[in-house]
Homo-oligomer: A and B are copies of this chain.
Amino acid sequence: MKSTEIKEAALKFFTIHGYEGASLSQIADEVGIKKQSIYGHFKGKDDLFLQVLRDAKDTELSSKLTYFQSTLDEAPEQSLYGYLQLVIDLFQKNEHLKFWLRMSFFPPAHLAEAITEEVVDLEDQMQVVIEKRFSEWIEKGLIHNSDPSIPALAFIGVVDSILLELVYVNDEKRLCKKLEASWSIFWRGISS
């Protein structure tokens, strides 16, 4: 399917150069067609971008939800630490997550509204799932706290700081040190 190839190339260049910096001719070159041919598959640049955005969102959301579904019976320590490693994996394996991050933080101005809508939706869904899990752990006495939203938000903070490190400079050594540091302090902070 050619439109899939086009979307993959678009994802790549949008990720590297941003919306304004990525050109249709670059994308077409990557696929091996002329830029005008893209209009046979998409209405225009905006249409292509928004389809890539929704694909990236679906990919990311289902990966994360599937993970949490598969660790229902694990202890908090395994489940949470595994999630951090999943995020690192997702980031390094494919470009969807990096694209998603770039467009969440710095969306092209004329599409900011549509993008923010998708971002908030995904963010809320994840927070609900994580918070529910924490409240179960608190009931079982595995986690020290009364309000589940506090450790949940703190954990999302740890995830964010790791993501930021990944975007920053992808230095394996530095990443590991930071992961271990943040995780050990976080775990000591929430364990009962």
Q: Give the residues in chain B near A190, CB-CB below 8 Å.
A: 185, 188-189
The size class of the interface chain A forms with chain B is 35 or more
Asked if A21 lies at the interface with its beta carbon under 8 angstroms from chain B, I say yes
Q: Are A157 and B161 in contact (CB under 8 A)?
A: yes
Choose the segment among A32-40, A73-81, A175-183 that binds chain B (4+ C-beta atoms closer than 8 Å). Answer: A175-183
Closest beta carbon of chain B to A175's beta carbon, Å: 11
Bound Cα distance from A161 to B163, whole angstroms: 9
Asked if A65 lies at the interface with its beta carbon under 8 angstroms from chain B, I say no
Q: Give the residues in chain B near A157, CB-CB below 8 Å.
A: 157-158, 161-162, 165, 178, 181-182
Contacts A20-B18, A106-B106, A160-B161: A120 and B185 contacting too (C-beta < 8 A)?
Answer: no
* Binary flags per residue of A149-185, CB closer than 8 Å to B gives 1, else 0: 1111110111011111101110000000110111011
- Interface of chain A residues 97 through 155 with chain B (CB within 8 A): 102, 104-106, 108-109, 116, 119-120, 144, 149-154
Asked if A91 lies at the interface with its beta carbon under 8 angstroms from chain B, I say no
Q: Are A105 and B108 in contact (CB under 8 A)?
A: no
Q: Give the residues in chain B near A68, CB-CB below 8 Å.
A: none
- Interface of chain A residues 20 through 75 with chain B (CB within 8 A): 20-21
Contacts A20-B21, A21-B108, A108-B21: A153 and B167 contacting too (C-beta < 8 A)?
Answer: no
Asked if A187 lies at the interface with its beta carbon under 8 angstroms from chain B, I say yes
Q: Are B161 and A149 in contact (CB under 8 A)?
A: no
Within 8 Å by CB of A181, from B109, B151, B177, lies B151
Q: Give the residues in chain B near A168, CB-CB below 8 Å.
A: 104-105, 119
Asked if A16 lies at the interface with its beta carbon under 8 angstroms from chain B, I say yes
Closest beta carbon of chain B to A171's beta carbon, Å: 10
